[in-house]
């Protein structure tokens, strides 16, 4: 077989493997859609297992694995109960206060935004001013139309509470079994790999483990720090419901850019309606500063393993994940994309250097990145 024939055969086999992989992936996604509740429990338990794994491993150096897991669970229960005891009463107070005050605050904000005497509104076209003036009535009609639908979902919310309580019991049990069987699962998987490829397979497993575990634990710590900074700042500036905004923003830090928007929009609106434009601008600037501190100093030091994805691929992953699986897919998009990156780096040839690719766009000025061209007089 000639070299050209071998190359064609190689690429045909590669395309066949890609087609089979896509077919299996689509089938797997359809299967997950049919068993969505079970799959969600499995994913939550997997995340929880990754979260407690470092501490379990440290204790397992001196204690049996079962004892190490039990001690970690007891510690988590004690710390969790203490945190809930401190946060739940003021958080519930914020939620109740916000539920009563938000309609009035929103109405006041819209009236201020649609006021024809507002200097900012005066600069808008007449059509835009009319639209702003009609917003309060449109929102009132929307709330009135959907009031019955909201009341009809009360039973569903109560059933969801029962599901949450069941999940709180099932998830730790599943995570414990995952930790107990982790090495057996790994050994069984490696047994399916030819002996000559097992070192490569172990390297891939280690990289995947580091990326997923580092992402989960790092995001949890980073979200806690970010939520605390936002809460303290909003409390110091007198913005209402500071704890509620900070907790929700920190919890949604798993979704890139969502935590920033969740904190920015309600905080600025509350500051504007409570104190005026000057305080709203101050709060907006402080939120921007906090996220700059988090993005440039806190997150790089807390996240042990970087996902290694550009903002472009992060946004694409979030959009695709939310389209396929809704909110759950949004949470899982970034770690899954990071796992795909690891597989690409381990199984595919590395990318060529930027200079070899002859880029049309470069971060530095293009003339500075081009190699010097030899001239007849040089040398």
User: Which tokens sit at 85?
Assistant: 């005891």
Q: What is the pLDDT of residue 118?
A: 60
* Residues whose CB falls within 8 Å of the CB of residue 135, separated by 6 or more in sequence, listed in order: 110, 113, 114
Q: How many residues does the chain have?
A: 379
Q: What is the pLDDT of residue 159?
A: 47
Tens-digit pLDDT profile for the chain (379 aa)?
567 677 777 777 778 877 887 777 777 767 766 766 777 788 788 888 888 888 998 998 888 989 999 999 999 999 888 888 888 888 888 777 777 776 666 666 666 555 556 665 566 666 665 665 565 555 555 544 554 454 444 445 444 555 666 677 888 888 899 888 888 888 887 787 778 878 888 888 888 887 888 788 888 888 888 888 999 999 999 888 888 888 888 887 777 666 777 788 888 888 888 887 788 889 999 988 888 888 777 776 666 555 667 667 777 877 787 777 776 677 777 788 888 887 777 777 776 666 666 656 666 665 555 555 455 554 4
CA distance linking residue 238 with residue 270, whole number of Å: 10
Q: What is the pLDDT of residue 103?
A: 67
pTM recorded for the entire structure: 0.65
CB-CB contact of 271 with 239 (8 Å): yes
Burial class (CB in 10 A: 0-12, 13-18, 19+), 318: buried
CB neighbours (10 Å) of residue 260?
20
What are the boundaries of each domain within the chain?
Answer: 63-146, 193-349
CB-CB contact of 287 with 122 (8 Å): no
Q: What is the pLDDT of residue 69?
A: 92
* Residues whose CB falls within 8 Å of the CB of residue 116, separated by 6 or more in sequence, listed in order: 122, 129, 133
Q: What is the pLDDT of residue 78?
A: 92
Give the orientation angle of helix 198-236 with respect to helix 154-191, to 10 degrees: 150
CB-CB contact of 249 with 259 (8 Å): yes
Intra-chain end-to-end CA distance of the chain, in Å: 46
What Å distances lie between residue 112 and 109, 132, 163, 200, 276, CA to CA?
Answer: 5, 10, 42, 63, 10
CA distance linking residue 252 with residue 17, whole number of Å: 37
Residue with tokens 């490569």: 200
* Residues whose CB falls within 8 Å of the CB of residue 124, separated by 6 or more in sequence, listed in order: 132
* 3-state SS track over the chain: CCHHHHHHHHHHHHHHHHHHHHHHHHHHHHHHHHCHHHHHHHHHHHHHHHHHHHHHHHHHCCCCHHHHHHHHHHHHHHHHHHHHHHHHHHHHHHHHHHHHHHHHHHHHHHHHHHCCCCHHHHCCCHHHHHHHHHHHHHHHHHHHHHHHHHHHCHHHHHHHHHHHHHHHHHHHHHHHHHHHHHHHHHHHHHHCCCHHHHHHHHHHHHHHHHHHHHHHHHHHHHHHHHHHHHHHHHHHCCCCCHHHHHHHHHHHHHCCCHHHHHHHHHHHHHHHHHHCHHHHHHHHHHHHHHHHHHHHHHHHHHCCCCCCCCHHHHHHHHHHHHHHHHHHHHHHHHHHHHHHHHHHHHHCCCCCCHHHHCCCCCCCCHHHHCCCCCCCCCC
CA distance linking residue 230 with residue 261, whole number of Å: 12
Residue with tokens 């935004």: 113
* Residues whose CB falls within 8 Å of the CB of residue 307, separated by 6 or more in sequence, listed in order: 211, 215, 314, 334, 335, 337, 338, 341
């Amino acid at each position: 077989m000639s070299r050209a024939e071998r190359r064609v055969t190689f690429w045909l086999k590669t395309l066949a493997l890609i087609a089979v992989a896509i077919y299996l992936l689509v089938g797997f996604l359809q299967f997950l859609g049919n068993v969505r509740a079970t799959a969600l429990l499995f994913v939550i338990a997997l995340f929880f297992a990754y979260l407690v794994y470092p501490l379990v491993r440290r204790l397992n150096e001196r204690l049996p694995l079962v004892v190490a897991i039990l001690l970690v669970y007891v510690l988590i229960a004690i710390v969790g109960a203490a945190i809930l005891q401190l946060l739940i009463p003021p958080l519930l107070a914020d939620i109740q206060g916000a539920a009563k005050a938000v309609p009035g605050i929103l109405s006041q904000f819209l009236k201020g935004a649609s006021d024809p005497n507002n200097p900012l509104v005066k600069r808008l076209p007449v059509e835009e001013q009319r639209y702003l003036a009609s917003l309060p009535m449109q929102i009132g009609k929307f709330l009135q139309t959907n009031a019955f639908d909201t009341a009809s979902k009360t039973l569903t919310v109560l059933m969801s509470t029962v599901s949450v309580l069941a999940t709180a019991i099932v998830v730790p049990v599943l995570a414990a079994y995952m930790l107990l069987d982790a090495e057996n699962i790994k050994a069984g998987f490696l047994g399916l790999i030819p002996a000559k490829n097992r070192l490569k397979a172990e390297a891939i497993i280690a990289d995947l483990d580091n990326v997923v575990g580092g992402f989960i634990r790092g995001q949890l710590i980073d979200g806690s720090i970010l939520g605390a900074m936002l809460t303290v700042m909003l409390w110091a500036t007198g913005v209402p419901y500071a704890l509620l905004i900070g907790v929700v923003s920190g919890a949604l830090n798993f979704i890139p850019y969502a935590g920033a928007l969740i904190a920015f929009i309600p905080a600025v609106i509350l500051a504007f309606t409570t104190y005026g434009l000057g305080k709203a601008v101050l709060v907006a600037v402080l939120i921007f500063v906090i996220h700059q501190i988090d993005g440039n100093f806190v997150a790089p030091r807390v996240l042990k393993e970087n996902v290694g994805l550009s903002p472009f691929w992060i946004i694409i992953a979030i959009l695709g994940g939310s389209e396929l699986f809704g909110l759950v897919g949004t949470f899982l998009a970034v770690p899954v994309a990071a796992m795909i990156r690891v597989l690409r780096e381990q199984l595919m040839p590395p990318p060529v250097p930027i200079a070899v690719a002859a880029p049309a766009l470069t971060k530095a000025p293009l003339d500075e990145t081009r190699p010097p061209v030899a001239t007849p007089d040089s040398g």
